[in-house]
Amino acid sequence: MKSQFRHVALIGKFQAHGSRSALEDIAHFLGTQGCDVAIEQDTASNTGLTQFPTLDAAGIGAQCDLALVVGGDGTMLGIGRLLAQFGVPMVGINQGRLGFITDIAFEDYQDTLKPMLRGEFEEDRRWMMQAKVVRDGHCVFSATAMNDVVVNRGATAGMVELRVEVDGRFVANQRADGLIIASPTGSTAYALSAGGPLLHPSIAGWLLVPIAPHTLSNRPIVLSDTGEIAIEIVAGRDASANFDMQSLASLLHGDRITVRRSAHQMRFLHPKGWSYFDTLRKKLHWNEGAG
């Protein structure tokens, strides 16, 4: 059967060893399945794959009906934030480490992709976060995030004091090393190592997870993702805000970081029969040693 996807963009983690040959192999495979292949602009320039047409994110959004991402979750998040506004679905082939959202093993990609290209897949939509830093009433920084928005203390400073509000209502002043606002996707990232719970991606919620809180009764809380979370810097030097750990804003006292649900979703495609629990078992090594 002919591929359901006519024009496929290929995005790669070009820093990885052997990435050029892997991308070239996948591109030729896609051609055998009847797909026109384009290479994302930065991927092409960094790997020297010049025998295929190249497109930037806007070009992929306008011309392609599938993005195939080869790398780890960071690679997927980076391109996903750019493509979400265009509604382009993405498939992840894992060349990273954990791979919670790049879930196809590279050695299995041909057998796995063939039925997916024919339309046999599970679609998984994930809401993104829209965040901004407000200083003296003016927005001085804005970013989207898929995993988390993290407010951190300075590298050489003590803890920060943060005023937390939800939908304009005061929650608490927290003294801690920082605070994480995580999506269900981000619940398996930094929030997990800070003691937060796992949140199934079908739940329309966010996690608010303190990092090393001064008061041990400050516990993680699950909130609806339909409202607004605001964090104000009350005290502490050299604080910063990270967005998916891929963009950074330096913060001053009185700055407010506000987080709302983005207007856009990332669209992930998984092999037929995919289960979130299969991913957790595999990536978190559950049931290891069970007889």
| Numbered residues of the known binding site for NAD(+) | 73-74, 147-148, 175, 177, 188-193, 212, 246
- Other CB atoms within a 10 A radius of the CB of residue 137 amount to 6
Q: How far apart are CA 63 and CA 9, in angstroms?
A: 9
Catalytic position from the list 36, 73, 103, 108? 73
Nearest 10 degrees: CA dihedral of 41, 17, 48, 75? 0
- 103 tagged catalytic: no
Q: What SS3 class is residue 138?
A: strand
| Ramachandran assignment for 285, one of left (phi > 0), alpha (psi -120 to 50 degrees), beta (any other) | left
Chain center to CA of 148: 8
* Crossing angle between the packed helical segments 109-117 and 19-32, to the nearest 10 degrees: 40
Amino acid at 137: G
| Residues in the annotated binding site | 73-74, 147-148, 175, 177, 188-193, 212, 246
CB 165 within 8 A of CB 259: no
Active site residues: 73
